[in-house]
Amino acid sequence: MTDYGTMPMTGLPKRVTVYEVGPRDGLQNEKALIPTEVKAEFIRQLLAAGHQAVETTSFVSPQWVPQLADASELLQLLDRPDGVRMPVLVPNDKGLNRALDAGVREIAVFGSATETFAQKNLNRTVAESLDMFRPVVDRARSQELMVRGYLSMCFGDPWEGAVDPHVVAAHARTLFDMGVTELSLGDTIGVATPGQVAALLEALGHQGISTDQLAVHFHDTYGQALANTLVALQHGITVVDASAGGLGGCPYAKSATGNLATEDLLWQLHGLGIETGVDLDALVRTSTWMAEQLGRPSPSRAVQALSKKE
Ligand code: HMG
Ligand code: MG
C-alpha cells in the first residue's frame, strides 16, 4: 500500500480500540445461511489482522435470527486468545445459559432507546426489556464476565423520528446502575449528524457517565459515520465499533444498512496517527475474501480503493 503519510490533530486519543462487529452485526442479516466454517475462518482472519475485540455471534432466539443459530458450534471451532475480547449478544437467561456453556467470558445485552424498536427487536417495552436484562447482568457479573450494554436508536428511530438525548441518558444510567461495564451508543439506522453526537455525549456527561465508559456504534446509511466518529473522538471516546467490509444491518430495522466499515475507519485513524494495532492490508484481504463468500462487493470505499490492482 502506498504511504500517504500521517498528520495528527490536537485533542484526539493516541490509541483507539476498534471493536469489530462484522461476524455478528455484519452477518446477522444475511438471508442465505453461511456455513459455520466460513464464519470461523472470517473470525480467525480478523484476529490475525490484529483485532483485540471481535463480537463473534449472538445467543438469541434462532427463530428471530436464524443466521446465528449456530453460535455454540461456531465457538467450538475457535481458539480464544488470552486478553482478546470475544463478546456475544445475550438477551435473556436462556441465552446466558448457552453462552456460559460455550465458555464465553464477555456478553452484551442490547436495549433500545425507543419503545417501537424495543417491541420489534425484543418483543417487549423498554422497561420490560431492562427487567429481562437485570438478572442476566447480575448472574454474568457474579461469574466475573464483562458485560457490554447497547442502546439502539440513540439518535433517530424510523417509526418515532428524532430521539431526545435525555431519554437516552436516562436509559444509559439504568444500564450502568445494573452493572454493565461499557455502553455502546447505537445509531442503528445511520441517521445521526455530528451535532447530535456531541449533544448526546454532553447529556450523558450530565448523568455522570464519562466517555471512557462508552463506545460508539454508527451504521453508515447516510454516509455520516466517519464524521460522527471524529466528533466522538474529539469528545474523548476511545472505543469505536465497526464492521469489516461495511457488512451489516438489523433484521428488525429495515432502514439499517451496514456499519461503518472497519477499513474506512482505519484509513481515518491511521491517517491521524492514531494507533489501533490492526493491519489495514490484512483486513482488506479478509473483506475481499468475505465479499466473494457472500457473492457481492464490499460497500467500503477503502476496500474498493485498496483492492484495485494499479
Ligand atoms: P420472544 O418470542 O418474546 O421470547 O422473543 P420467548 O421467550 O417467547 O421465546 C420464543 C422462542 O425462542 C422459544 O422457543 C424460546 O425457547 C426461544 P419455543 O419454545 O417457541 O421453541 N428462545 C431462545 N432460544 C435460544 N436462545 C435464546 C432464546 N430466547 C428465547 N436466547 C427474544 C424474545 C428476546 C428471545 C427475541 O426477541 C430475540 O431473540 N431477539 C433478538 C433480536 C436480535 O438479535 N436482533 C439483532 C441484534 S440487535 C442489533 O443489531 C442492534 C445493535 O447492533 C446496535 C445498533 O445497531 O443499534 C446491537
Ligand atoms: Mg448495529
Residue 5 belongs to some domain of the structure: no
Mutation probe of ligand 1 site: the residue of 60, 129, 218, 220 with most atoms within 8 A of C-beta: 60
Respond yes or no: is residue 154 known to be catalytic: no
In a 10 Å sphere around its CB, with 0-12 CB exposed, 13-18 middle and 19+ buried, how is residue 110 labelled? Answer: buried
- Helix (H) / strand (E) containing 213: none
Expressed as residue numbers, the domain containing 51 is 17-309
- What separation in Å is there between the alpha carbon of 251 and the centre of ligand 1? 12
pTM as predicted: 0.97
- With a 6 Å cutoff on the Cβ, whether 28 touches ligand 1 is yes
Phi-psi region of 222 (alpha: psi -120 to 50; beta: other; left: phi over 0): alpha
Coil, helix or strand at residue 294? helix
Give the CA radius of gyration of the chain.
18
Give the confidence band of 250 by pLDDT, cuts at 50, 70, 90: low
For 45-86, the pLDDT digits (tens) are: 999 999 999 999 999 999 999 999 999 999 999 999 999 999
- What would the mean pLDDT of 91-103 be, rounded to a whole number? 98
Whether residue 220 lies inside any domain: the answer is yes
**What percent of the chain is modeled with pLDDT above 70?**
98
Distance 299 CA to ligand 2 centre (A): 16
- The ligand minimizing its distance to the Cα of 251 is 1
CA–CA separation, 35 and 4 (whole Å): 38
What local confidence, expressed as pLDDT, does residue 225 receive?
98
Query: 11 lies in a domain?
Result: no
**Backbone angle region of 290, left / alpha / beta, with phi > 0 → left and psi within -120 to 50 → alpha:** alpha
Give the position of cell 449533544. Answer: 199
Pairing of strands 156-157, 161-162: antiparallel
Of the listed 225, 250, 261, 278, which one is catalytic? 250
Number of structural domains, the chain?
Answer: 1
Give the CATH number, domain containing residue 84: 3.20.20.70
pLDDT at 277 over 90: yes
98: Cβ below 6 Å to ligand 1? yes
Whether residue 4 lies inside any domain: the answer is no
**Would you say residue 58 lies in a domain?**
yes
